[in-house]
Amino acid sequence: MAKWNNKKKYTSEDIKNKNIKKGTYFFSKTMKHQVFIMILSVITVSLVLGGSAYAVFTSLSKSDYNTITIGSLELSYEEDESSVINLESTYPITDEEGESSKGYQFSIQNTGSLASSYIVYIGSDAAVINSEDCHDNLIDYENIKINVNNGETSTLQSHATGKYDADGYEIYQIAEGTLQPGETKKFNVKMWININADNSVLGKHFHGKVLVNGENYNTYTTDALRVWYDGISNTEDGNSSTATTWYDLSGNKNNSSNFIGNSVWKNNGLQLNGVVPFVGNINDEYTLSMVVKPNHTGVNPYLLYGENFPSIYLDSNDDYALVFEGQGLKEKVTPKTILSTEKSSLVTVTYKENTLSVYINAALVATLNTDTKPTSIATAYLGGNNASNNLSGTIYSFMLYDKALSMEEIRSNYIIDATRFNMK
């Protein structure tokens, strides 16, 4: 009988030439010594959000773990059930043979509205290890080869991170990247026993699982957020191309009234043909923030109109430069500021202690002084004044805060908006 020992390492070619049958002589289930190696088609997902980790979906039921949702970040996982890596009762093969195998295929998708980074790990399945009682009989990861998406082949051990899961097992990073909202990333993971492995692998076990860790780039500042309209999530249940009101994501129930005119949802924003009325009471300190792309047509179109606080319009007699009017003001932003018609821009206005600060794409462009404090308003309008000065263009997002955001908070919001609304 052919034996596999330290002195002689049989290759797959040796097996063919010597007519050694894998089922009879090599790692047969009938043999006392065998390699029992399997990667289970199980995913455990954790999210890091706001500095806290949430481990979820330990159940093996597909309905329990296929989709996760925290805030506006969602990751979903889908596997090809016909492509499970099964190295049970197998034998060492060359890298060429391993790389040509089918592999284990799965995908992750960002179905939320925030851009997300992700890291894919191989971890140990503690539940199976406990059931098999093989803690002290696990294979050395130097003896397992891995290839991801037909990239460079390496040992699983080379992917060690020095990080450990809650059960004390180290996790091994095999991929990382970013996912934009709606984007899907496919993976094909191939694993096999190293051709150079000796008989120390006999009788060893490996029980693994795929882990995906997702983290959104950043989170919007939500402290003191009174109104939040978002073009990607324009209803309570997500996105609807037929919505006739704009849902308030702040949780304060300041949903817009029915749209006036024939505005339509398009490309994650509201393409205006009319105005959006909303209730927006403000305090002595506030921030107005809007992602907008104007067409620069019409007479003095308003981005935002309301009583008792500065309205914002574009001067059609001066290249549609930005102008503030109201609350004791009627001032053009100096130097002259003209919004792009090619891509969306983030316009942010803060008010605190008689000072109005104007930011375009998180850059301070003007500071205006006013002695008149804002007072509460019953109704305001996005995209016009419900008369002849309505905006032609698209509004993608609008936020109203009961405080003046800091420069850091404005920049943080801009980073998210720039990714979500293709501002770069």
pLDDT tens-digit series, residues 279-292:
766 777 899 999 99
User: What global pTM score does this model have?
Assistant: 0.53
Q: Which amino acid is at 370?
A: T
User: Is it true that domain 225-420 has CATH number 2.60.120.200?
Assistant: yes
Residue 235, Cβ density class (10 Å: 0-12 exposed, 13-18 middle, ≥19 buried)? middle
From 319, 345, 343, 344, select the one nearest 333 (Cα to Cα).
Answer: 319
Q: Tell me: the pLDDT tens digits for 337-348?
A: 899 999 999 999
Q: Please name the helix (run of DSSP H) or strand (run of DSSP E) that holds residue 107, with its range, or none.
A: strand 104-110
Residue 307 burial (10 A CB sphere; 0-12, 13-18, 19+): middle
CA dist 125 → 39, 159, 200, 354 (Å): 9, 17, 22, 60
DSSP character string of 9-20: ---HHHHHHHT-
Q: Of 52-61, 74-83, 165-174, 212-221, which has the strongest mean pLDDT?
A: 165-174
3-state secondary structure of 264: strand
DSSP class of residue 139 equals P
Residue 285: predicted pLDDT: 87
Q: What angle do CA 196, 197, 199 make, to 5 degrees?
A: 135
Contact 420, 233 (CB under 8 A): no
- pLDDT bin (cut points 50, 70, 90) of residue 89 is low
Q: What is the pLDDT of residue 412?
A: 82
Q: Where are the domains of the chain?
A: 12-216, 225-420
Q: Which residues on neighbouring strands pair with residue 54, listed in sequence order?
A: 47
CB 232 within 8 A of CB 269: no
CB contact at 8 A, 358 and 269: no
